[in-house]
Structure 1
Amino acid sequence: MKAVKSLRVVSAVVLSLGAGGAHAAGFQLLEQNASGIGNAYAGSAAIAENASTIFFNPAGMTRLPGVNVSGGLIGIRPSFKFHDDGSTGPGGLPLGTNNGGDAGSLAAVPNAYISWEVNPSWFVGLGIGAPFGLMTEYDEGWIGRYHSKKFKIKSININPSVAYKVNDQLSIGAGVNWLQLDANYRRNSPAAGLISRLPGGMANPLAPRLLGAPDLEAQAKLKGDAWGWNLGLLYQATPDTRIGLSYRSKVKIDTSGDTNIDNPTPVPIPTHFDASADVELPDTAILSVVHDLNSKWQLLADVSWTGWSSIKTLKIDNGYPPLNDELDLRFRDTWRVALGANYRLNHQWTLKGGVAWDQSPVDSSKYRPTSLPDNDRYWVSIGAQYNFNDQTTIDIGYAHLFLNNTSIDNDTDAATKGTVRGEYTSNANMLGIQVSHRF
């Protein structure tokens, strides 16, 4: 009963915060626990040190006797600073000199897990987290305002799981996932260009009269949910070496909502439209190895793959073709490689470290969106674990993500949005805490 009550409290926090700021590649949130930050998430599908293994590999629950509860919170602070190099507006519209400030913002990513040993062979569990998230927001009047001003994605994933211990070497696990996605996309549009395309609006020959008018602002709010699944395998190859393999399925979500237009011009136009968009979120696979070198040192490694090519475009249907919006993304599949080590200082303290290379799904300056100015990143992580006793541990982890300078030359919809041309300087910092307890 204490475990269930604790999960309810932490779950309420998860559901209230959601997630708004990614920092795995793309808009995936690898940060499903804070205990893995210190190792840059190396060994994630094989370590199984607390109930958060439910997300990375449900088969890992067989290493957790009794009832285990784990909850954490991760603060992520990305930075995206744009430097213009000849951006142009649609139809020659002036853009000004505002580079948009820092488009990154602080976000909190919570998680909560519980696992239960039903008997020596069967284990069940429940995980709650936020596997996808994004938040970029630019200053008013910035150069790329016709591409985006704000793009925010929040998600909540509820993951009931089961694991079976086949024998002392092999365990298997599976889970189902209910995933809810909430998106908010805001951008400006030149008054003349948009009004000339609205049903019943001003005809093309008159539209140029509004070239000096204030921009219109369109905001789409969309929400949807769908089901997916995940599988895992854990194999104790030798007394010192453990191998984990896991897979999470694609999730296709049909979202719906509305688009609202803020119109500061004197021309009467429709300002509300029903909106919808479909997105197929990527599948992922992880291969992990954990090796106990001796009583002090533990080595960890990870290779993971994400099927980002499921997202080629993002189309927002507003019920009228001239007003529909589309982001031409052309994402590619990506790889991530991580290495880590743990050093057991004494019975209470374990020190952690890790590095990783994380490939971006965006591989072309032409298709790099201002809403996701993403690039390959390199992780450097440190952390520590403190054991209060045999039942309770606390993990603290910190990671800095280095990104190379990122070029952008996006002219995929130059006629209506103009061309954003320049370079981003970016980085990210994350700090997390995880508390785990065994009943």
Structure 2
Amino acid sequence: MCRSVLKVFLTGMCCSLVMLILATGTVQAAGFALMEQTVKGLGNAFAGGAASAEDATTVYLNPAGMTLLSGQQISTGLHVIKTSFKFSNSGSTHALQPITGEGLTGYNGGNAGTWNFVPNLYYVNKLNDSWAVGLGINVPFGLTTDWGEGWVGRYYAVKSSIMTLNINPSVAYQVNEKLSIGAGVSVMYMKGEFSQAVDYGTIFNLLGGNPQRDDGKVTLNADDWGYGYNLGVLYQFNHTTRVGISYRSQVDQNLTGDANYTFNNEVTKNKVAAMIAASPYSTWFQDGGAGSSVTLPDSATISLFHQLNPKLALMADIGWAGWSSLPELRIVFDSSQPDSTTTLNWKDAWRFGAGATYQYSDKLKLRCGAMYDQTPIPGPEYRTPRLPDQDRLWTNLGASYAMTKQMSFDFGYSHLFMLGNGDINQAATGENATRGGLTGTFDNTGNIFSAQINYNW
């Protein structure tokens, strides 16, 4: 009876989780990777994630850790993330400024950040002394920024949204008392929405266009399924100290969908249509098929876990992400219209974290941690309002409470301090000729509130 009820509960939980994931988009870790995959880990700034193996979330962090669990276990968590992205303009220029005497017009964009919800669900079954299997459903990448249609950088970006859903079955094998290995496959759905204003007045200036006033907007909606794998190794030096290494592969996403053009009013729409018809580019700027190919980065982590004494455990972490797999964001149109390109020139990025867990009582554990997280953006000339990323310092607190032997709860909080400056200095040349030169500073921050429930039997 209990198992039947539990089966119904798990089925309902999975369905609810998938529906919530499909409505989710956010950005917090460097680039647009999401580290919010475990609430225990959040409390420790994700330090020791590949070595701790405290609950079923190890399916994602290091599948080899499943051999340290017993029986069956399920963990499901929700991360509530509040992002803040604000921009201050400092003399952004326009391609025709020497003629019109007018720089980029528009307001600063307000706050492009939002409230976001990132759920995840993990299940592990320890089959026998050597083998364990598991399943993870989570959101490994996400992005949401929305600046509004009238802001000064509208020709670069209005709204940017990336949502992913990752289904990750895994298996682990305990080779001997010290060594365990694990592997998994990822089936990842990705959906993207990218919009930006189009300055038809500048493009068709010689045909009577009015720069920065004869505007429209183009929106790309596209999706795809991609596939990857993950590997893990866990080595226990003794009962108090272990090290874990995990690797996740690249995932190629060939997003396909539609590009749609809209206008603020019928007068502008009719004027632009007449200018397009009178130009040699009559097949451009038409609704139709479009897409973009994205290679999501591979990543690797090495973690150390040490139980210093019965009450205090220490963790450390070094992580790497291969963001150089994203040299640009290129939107390709089915029509003869030239590609829309945003050069990223991203570099590989590193993170370094440390954390501690204190066993306050039989039921209560307290957690803390800090992490330095490096941005993949190489400099102001490559920063984009689609993702105005910066180096950041994570400061984290958490707690775990064992309600019963079978059920426990985890809570976590993180505040992200941005390091250095968030300057952007995009020149009004090349791919930006009709976008203008966007110059200014981004002021970004983030807060994360997380909760998780664990049940084992």
The alpha-carbon distance between structure 1 residues 321 and 335, as it changes in their structure 2 partners (threshold 3 A), is farther
Q: Distance in 2 between matches of 1:399 and 1:219?
A: 33
- Residue 401 of structure 1 pairs with residue 401 of structure 2: no
Partner of 1:144: 153
The alpha-carbon distance between structure 1 residues 213 and 335, as it changes in their structure 2 partners (threshold 3 A), is closer
Q: Distance in 2 between matches of 1:398 and 1:424?
A: 24
- What amino acid maps onto 1:156 in structure 2? L
Residue 16 of structure 1 and its aligned partner are, at CA, apart by 1.6
Q: How does 1:226-241 map to 2 (within 5 A)?
A: 226-241=226-241
Which SS does the other structure have where 1:317 is aligned?
A: strand
Partner of 1:201: none
Q: How does 1:164-243 map to 2 (within 5 A)?
A: 164-194=173-203, 196=204, 205-206=206-207, 208-211=208-211, 213-243=213-243
- What amino acid maps onto 2:349 in structure 1? T
Q: Distance in 2 between matches of 1:94 and 1:271?
A: 28
Partner of 1:426: 444
Q: How does 1:335-414 map to 2 (within 5 A)?
A: 335-404=350-419, 405-411=421-427, 413-414=431-432
- Residue 96 of structure 1 pairs with residue 105 of structure 2: yes
Q: Distance in 1 between matches of 2:399 and 2:12?
A: 25
Tell me if structure 1 keeps the 8 A contact 2:202–2:212.
no
Partner of 2:433: 415
Partner of 1:314: 329
Q: How does 1:70-81 map to 2 (within 5 A)?
A: 70-81=75-86
- Residue 62 of structure 1 pairs with residue 67 of structure 2: yes
Q: Distance in 2 between matches of 1:223 and 1:373?
A: 23
Q: Distance in 2 between matches of 1:370 and 1:45?
A: 33
Residue 363 of structure 1 and its aligned partner are, at CA, apart by 1.8
Residue 94 of structure 1 and its aligned partner are, at CA, apart by 4.8
- What amino acid maps onto 2:206 in structure 1? P
Tell me if structure 2 keeps the 8 A contact 1:7–1:113.
no
Residue 213 of structure 1 and its aligned partner are, at CA, apart by 4.1
**Per-residue displacement from partner, 1:102-128 (whole Å, max 9, x unpaired)?**
111111000001111122211111000
- What amino acid maps onto 1:422 in structure 2? G
- Residue 301 of structure 1 pairs with residue 312 of structure 2: no
Which of 55, 62, 66 is matched with 1:50 structurally?
55
Unaligned runs of 5+ in 1: 197-203
- TM-score (structure 1 length as normaliser): 0.95
Tell me if structure 1 keeps the 8 A contact 2:148–2:159.
no
Q: Distance in 1 between matches of 2:84 and 2:214?
A: 29
Tell me if structure 1 keeps the 8 A contact 2:73–2:456.
yes
Q: Distance in 2 between matches of 1:25 and 1:357?
A: 10
Partner of 1:36: 41
Residue 211 of structure 1 and its aligned partner are, at CA, apart by 3.2
- TM-score (structure 2 length as normaliser): 0.91
Q: Distance in 2 between matches of 1:59 and 1:140?
A: 48
Partner of 1:291: 306
Which SS does the other structure have where 2:375 is aligned?
A: coil
Q: Distance in 1 between matches of 2:363 and 2:177?
A: 27
Percent identical among aligned pairs is: 40
Tell me if structure 1 keeps the 8 A contact 2:202–2:209.
no
- What amino acid maps onto 1:76 in structure 2? I
Which SS does the other structure have where 2:19 is aligned?
A: helix
Tell me if structure 2 keeps the 8 A contact 1:46–1:60.
yes
> After the TM superposition, which segments of 4 or more aligned residues of structure 1 sit over 6 Å from their partners?
none
Unaligned runs of 5+ in 2: 277-284
Q: Distance in 2 between matches of 1:406 and 1:230?
A: 33
Residue 97 of structure 1 and its aligned partner are, at CA, apart by 4.7
Residue 323 of structure 1 and its aligned partner are, at CA, apart by 4.2
- What amino acid maps onto 2:132 in structure 1? F
Tell me if structure 2 keeps the 8 A contact 1:37–1:398.
yes
Residue 91 of structure 1 and its aligned partner are, at CA, apart by 2.5
Q: Distance in 2 between matches of 1:295 and 1:103?
A: 46
Q: How does 1:318-337 map to 2 (within 5 A)?
A: 318-337=333-352
Which SS does the other structure have where 1:279 is aligned?
A: strand
- What amino acid maps onto 2:431 in structure 1? D
- What amino acid maps onto 1:70 in structure 2? S
Which SS does the other structure have where 1:24 is aligned?
A: coil
- What amino acid maps onto 2:360 in structure 1? L
What is the alpha-carbon root mean square deviation over aligned residues?
A: 1.5
Q: How does 1:272-283 map to 2 (within 5 A)?
A: 272-283=287-298
The alpha-carbon distance between structure 1 residues 122 and 214, as it changes in their structure 2 partners (threshold 3 A), is same
- What amino acid maps onto 1:148 in structure 2? A
Q: Distance in 2 between matches of 1:91 and 1:189?
A: 15
